[in-house]
Every structure is written in C-alpha cells, then in structure tokens.
Amino acid sequence: MILAATVASLWGFNFVVIEWGMRDVPPLLFVAIRFLVVAAAVVVVPRPAASWRTIVGVGLFMSLGQFGLLYTSMALGLQPGLAALLLQAQAVFTIVIATGVLRERPTTAQVVGVGVGVVGLVVVATGRGGDAPALAVVLALAAAVSWAIGNVISRRAGVVTGPGRLGALSLTVWSALVVPVPALGLSLAMEGPAAIGEALAGFGWQPVLSTLYTAVLCTIIGYAIFNGLLGRNRSAAVVPWVLLAPVVAMASAAALLGQIPTAAEVVGGLLLVAGVLVTGLRLPTVRRTAALSAARPGTAACEDGRGASAESRGRGRPRVRLSSRSARG
C-alpha cells in the first residue's frame, strides 16, 4: 500500500513536470527522448525472465501508446490536472480487461472502491471538463486504454524478482527499447523535421530536468515498483491506488501553475481518496461451517467453528507416529 501510494504521488506530480518541460519540445519527440534515457539502462540491467512478446507488448502499450497519446493530448491544451484525471480511467479498463482475459474476479471491496473512485472522476470531470478540447479528451482516454492493456500484459507475465534477475525493473528498462524509434518516426511524420531540429537546438535545462524526472523517477523507479506489484498481486488490488495521482496532480498544478481547483475537483478528489482506501479493506467473509456440517453428518456447527465433533476434527488429518528420539528432539 505504501509503495503504491508513493508511485501514485510520483506520477501525479509528473503531469506538471511534463507540461513544464514540453513548452518548447514537440510531444512525440519528448516521448522518444524520455524513453531513450530509460533504454540506456540496458547496459547495466539484465534482460528480464520474460519472452520478447511480453517485452514488446509492454513497451508498445504501457509506454509508447500511453505516453504518445497523453503527451499529444496535453500539447493540444489538456491541463495537467484533467489529464491525470482522465488517465485514471485505466483502473476501470484494467479490471474489466483482466476479468475477461485473466479470469480475475475483483473482491467486493475492490468493486465498491473502484465505483466510488469512478464517481469521483465523474464529479471532477463535470466540474471542469467543459473547457477541454474534445480531441484532447479522446486521446487521453485512448491513453488510458493503452495503459490498461499494458497492465494486463505485465500481470499475465508475472515477472518478479528472481535469482540473478531484477524482475520488474528489467521489464521496465528493456521494454523501453521498443519506444524511441517508433516515437521518433511518428514525430518526423506528424511534427516535421523543422520542428524537431528547432527543439533539439534549443533543448535547455527545463526539458533536461523534466526528462530526468520522468525517465528516472517516474519510469525506471515508478514502473519498476508498479510492475513488481502487479507481478505479486491481483490487478484489482494494485491498479485502483493510481486513482490518487489526479489528487497530487491537481494540488501541484494549484501550487505551481496557479490552477486553483474548483469545488467539484475538491469533492471528486476526496471521493478518489475514499475509493482507494476502500479497495484496501478486507471485508469479513461468511464462514462455511454450516455447509460443512450438512456435508458431514454428526458434526455440530458453531459461529466460531469450534463446535465440530472430535470425529470431524480428526477426519482427513494425517496421523504421524514419532519415535522416542524424534519426540525428544
């Protein structure tokens, strides 16, 4: 829970850093530069214990698709707070896709928590979505779908730390190899060589700091932790925590960019936090002692499960005879 909340905070502040560093750099070129820095770590990070199909899939959907669409939507005028909010639709998309592909059934608490979080998303979007360009909103939602697909691919692979491997960190770094060339090709086709040359010539300290933050903290460290959590836990237990990112993004945008949140943003943000907290609850389960009693005649069921007869308590348990020597040991 602490790791997931930390990643959400890094990713929330990431939206402000992206807008700050992308003022003079085309979005797709900025994506290519970001993941070129990440991919440079392959010289010290071994290849993950995953197939190339998994590595390419994570790179295409979780990295290239998500950030190519997200950066473009922000370049079209989508504000950092709303961009962070719309991207969190990935929580719903991930659980839906994981249910269909991985046959994972979310718990009652997770369903309720995601439902509360979705209500928060709707409240915030209703309070500020009118000024956002329609195309930018569509691209941000498409980025959320791409991220959700990448989540399921990572979860299905189940890459965790193993002997001689760095597990999730390796998957994050090696999947970045997929991004720079296609992103640069898209940048040449859509943004033009002139814009690329001008941006590279004037690449100052702001884009450099933004690239380091997004590449090192958000991608290498953030996604390594996130992919590791996905590899060890159910998707529905990990993904809803990212709903905290819009709250951090809106608070950062208010403090650094002067974008003061509306009443709807405050209420929606509180609902998002509440939804995340609910997903971490463990609701009490109904004991099946009554059903067991019906299946095993002669047993007496109690609420605390201590009323079973000696015959039922002993049934099915292996009997071990200890020698005197082993008993003394």
**Confidence (pLDDT) at 130:** 55
- 42 falls within a domain: yes
Residue type present at position 146: S
Domain that residue 204 falls in: 2-279
**Confidence (pLDDT) at 229:** 84
Q: Are residues 36 and 158 in the same domain?
A: yes
Q: Are residues 114 and 222 in the same domain?
A: yes
Q: Are residues 212 and 297 in the same domain?
A: no
Residue type present at position 12: G
Q: Are residues 297 and 273 in the same domain?
A: no
Q: Are residues 138 and 172 in the same domain?
A: yes
**Confidence (pLDDT) at 215:** 93
- 226 falls within a domain: yes
How many helices (DSSP H) and strands (DSSP E) are in the chain?
19, 0
- 284 falls within a domain: no
Choose the final residue of a domain: 243, 259, 279.
279
**Confidence (pLDDT) at 194:** 93
Q: What is the largest CA-CA distance in the chain?
A: 87
- 189 falls within a domain: yes
| Residue 306: count of CB within 10 angstroms of its CB | 10
Q: Which residues of the chain have a pLDDT value below 70?
A: 128-132, 158-168, 235, 280-329
HEC assignment per residue over 84-131: HHHHCCHHHHHHHHHHHHCCCCCCHHHHHHHHHHHHHHHHHHHHHHHH
Residue type present at position 100: G
Determine phi and psi for 93, rounding to 5 degrees.
-60, -40
**Confidence (pLDDT) at 179:** 96
Q: Are residues 175 and 130 in the same domain?
A: yes
Q: Are residues 91 and 229 in the same domain?
A: yes
Q: Are residues 94 and 209 in the same domain?
A: yes
Q: Are residues 129 and 161 in the same domain?
A: yes
- The helix/strand/coil state of 111 is helix
Q: For residues 160 and 168, what is the distance between their CA atoms, to the nearest angstrom? A: 6
**Confidence (pLDDT) at 142:** 95
Q: Are residues 86 and 187 in the same domain?
A: yes
- 22 falls within a domain: yes
Q: For residues 1 and 240, what is the distance between their CA atoms, to the nearest angstrom? A: 11
Query: What's the total number of domains in the chain?
Result: 2
Q: Which H or E element spans position 313?
A: helix 310-314
Q: Which two structure tokens, joined as six digits, stand for 315?
A: 């049934």
- The residues, ordered by sequence, that sit 6+ positions from 202 with a Cβ below 8 Å of its Cβ are 24
- 308 falls within a domain: yes
- 62 falls within a domain: yes
Q: Are residues 36 and 173 in the same domain?
A: yes
Q: Are residues 275 and 170 in the same domain?
A: yes
Q: For residues 329 and 318, what is the distance between their CA atoms, to the nearest angstrom? A: 20
**Confidence (pLDDT) at 324:** 44
- 118 falls within a domain: yes
